[in-house]
């Protein structure tokens, strides 16, 4: 790849080349006696012309070569070789997700600035973060992956259109036609601009004209977020999996007329949430991702099914023999599913359990299994134990 100094050198060489050609043409014409005040009547000596041309070009080449060598030595930009090494391990998507102007900008910043973390490349994920950390000598820390989430479920069959749009099949073009053809001006237009701009092929359009994100391919680079004209896409941390998939700020009645799956700001989620995570503002419910424990209690209660649960299957919790009867699970459960006497093994009422995984995460001895987050919780606890043993 070219860096700034290489580009400067190439520009100087190109300019020199074009100047030489121009000079050569000018001198050849003058020598050959064409035009102006030079006598054109005499014969042209081709041999002499060629010798002159070669001598002239050779001389010019030597002059410019010496000039370039001098300029290269005098104005050489000293770059840390680590910049090139980091640049080589970055994926080259130039997506800007790191907050810098492309991969070169990030490579320079992470090498030069001690405050720039080695794990800012979202498409590169963990392997690139470790490689950058190794090259720069910085501490590698895991970065929670981010995924693009489509904050609208108003597919074409589930939403109302104001008119028939027959222009260019692109959302950015469709929105120029009076704000788009959908009655809800906040919703996904469904012409697939996001799918086309995704450099990783992570978005496809389903048969109902809604984008579907493949989280295995999605790197959280935010290109789709920037391209979507209705700002329907949000790139969010992977652990935030219960979301109000609607952006409509229309009044509840209007939203209901325009879309079958929009948030009508009824506030039911606010009432049922045990952690005060949702709140309704501007006719729209929003879940505070820092408060939400992804228990999923609000999901079935929403009358329009506007809340999307990205945890596909919520299997129920069960308590294992290493339970110490501390009663923590009974205290944290939002649906009072665990019970038992202090210091005796507890049990979980399967009919009540909603598989939220809160007890699994809070159990001090990792005695609760079966929930979607159990393997992750156990792995984190094992890692913690290992680090503690190493430090001792």
Is 264 an interacting residue with respect to ligand SF4 (CB under 6 A)? no
Site string for ligand SF4, 2-41 (x = CB under 6 A): ----------------------------------------
Of 118, 123, 154, 192, the residue at the interface with ligand SF4 (CB under 6 A) is 192
Is 211 an interacting residue with respect to ligand SF4 (CB under 6 A)? yes
> Rounded to an integer, what distance in angstroms lies between the CA atom of residue 348 and that of residue 356?
13
Interface region with ligand SF4, contact rule CB under 6 A, candidates 70-78, 90-98, 158-166, 275-283: 275-283
Of 273, 353, 363, 367, the residue at the interface with ligand SF4 (CB under 6 A) is 273
Is 189 an interacting residue with respect to ligand SF4 (CB under 6 A)? yes
Residue placing its CB nearer to ligand SF4 in the complex, 235 or 287: 287
Residue the block writes with tokens 């050569």:
24
Is 193 an interacting residue with respect to ligand SF4 (CB under 6 A)? yes
Contact residues for 330 (Cβ-Cβ < 8 A; gap 6+): 336, 338, 339, 340, 346
> Rounded to an integer, what distance in angstroms lies between the CA atom of residue 360 and that of residue 353?
12
Site string for ligand SF4, 221-260 (x = CB under 6 A): ------xx-x-xx--------x------------------
> Rounded to an integer, what distance in angstroms lies between the CA atom of residue 36 and that of residue 134?
68
Written as six digits, the tokens of 189 are 């237009």
Is 191 an interacting residue with respect to ligand SF4 (CB under 6 A)? yes
Tell me the number of residues near ligand SF4 by CB under 6 A: 29
Of 52, 56, 275, 318, the residue at the interface with ligand SF4 (CB under 6 A) is 275
Q: Tell me, what DSSP letter sits at residue 317? A: P
Residues 127-186, interacting with ligand SF4 (CB under 6 A): 150, 171
Name beta bridge partners: 150.
233
Written as six digits, the tokens of 336 are 């009072």
Longest CA–CA span in the chain (Å) reads: 120
Q: What residue spans of the chain are helical by DSSP H?
A: 4-32, 46-74, 81-89, 102-112, 125-136, 171-174, 193-197, 223-227, 252-258, 268-272, 298-301, 328-332, 358-362, 374-391
Is 268 an interacting residue with respect to ligand SF4 (CB under 6 A)? no
> Rounded to an integer, what distance in angstroms lies between the CA atom of residue 154 and that of residue 227?
19
Closest separation between CB of residue 223 and ligand SF4, Å? 11
3-state helix, strand, coil in the chain (%, to 5): 40, 10, 50
Closest separation between CB of residue 297 and ligand SF4, Å? 4
Is 262 an interacting residue with respect to ligand SF4 (CB under 6 A)? no
Residues 276-305, interacting with ligand SF4 (CB under 6 A): 277-278, 287, 292-298
Name beta bridge partners: 211.
205
Interface region with ligand SF4, contact rule CB under 6 A, candidates 59-67, 267-275, 312-320, 359-367: 267-275
Q: Which residues bind ligand SF4 (CB under 6 A)?
A: 150, 171, 188-194, 211, 227-228, 230, 232-233, 242, 272-273, 275, 277-278, 287, 292-298
């Amino acid at each position: 790849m070219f860096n700034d100094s290489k580009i400067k050198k190439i520009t100087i060489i190109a300019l020199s080349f074009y100047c030489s050609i121009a000079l050569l043409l000018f001198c050849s014409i003058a020598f050959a006696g064409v035009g102006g005040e030079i006598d054109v009547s005499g014969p042209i000596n081709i041999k002499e012309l060629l010798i002159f041309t070669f001598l002239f070009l050779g001389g010019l080449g030597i002059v410019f070569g010496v000039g370039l060598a001098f300029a290269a030595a005098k104005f050489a930009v000293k770059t840390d070789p680590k910049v090139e090494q980091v640049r080589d391990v970055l994926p080259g998507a130039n997506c800007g997700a790191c907050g810098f102007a492309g991969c070169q900008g990030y490579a320079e910043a992470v090498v030069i600035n001690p405050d720039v973390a080695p794990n800012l490349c979202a498409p590169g994920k963990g392997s690139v973060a470790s490689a950058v950390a190794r090259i720069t000598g910085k501490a590698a820390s895991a970065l929670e992956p981010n995924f693009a989430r489509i904050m609208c479920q108003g597919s074409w069959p589930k939403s109302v259109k104001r008119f028939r749009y027959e222009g260019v099949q692109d959302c950015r073009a469709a929105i120029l036609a009076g704000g788009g053809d959908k009655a809800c001006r906040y919703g996904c237009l469904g012409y697939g601009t996001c799918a086309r701009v995704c450099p990783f092929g992570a978005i496809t359009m389903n048969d109902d004209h809604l984008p579907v994100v493949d989280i295995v391919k999605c790197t959280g680079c935010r290109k789709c977020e920037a391209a979507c004209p209705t700002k329907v896409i949000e790139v969010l941390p992977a652990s935030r999996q219960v979301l109000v998939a609607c952006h409509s700020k229309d009044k509840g009645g209007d939203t209901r007329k325009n879309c079958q799956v929009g948030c009508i700001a009824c506030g039911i989620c606010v009432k049922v949430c045990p952690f005060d995570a949702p709140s309704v503002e501007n006719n729209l419910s929003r879940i505070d991702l820092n408060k939400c424990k992804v228990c999923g209690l609000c999901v079935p209660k929403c009358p329009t099914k506007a809340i999307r649960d990205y945890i596909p299957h919520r299997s129920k919790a069960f308590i294992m023999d290493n339970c110490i009867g501390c009663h923590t699970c009974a205290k944290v459960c939002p649906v009072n599913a665990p019970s038992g006497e202090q210091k005796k093994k507890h049990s979980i009422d399967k009919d009540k359990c909603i598989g939220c995984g809160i007890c699994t995460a809070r159990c001090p001895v990792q005695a609760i299994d079966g929930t979607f987050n159990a393997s992750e919780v156990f792995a984190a606890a094992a890692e913690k134990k290992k680090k503690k043993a190493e430090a001792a």
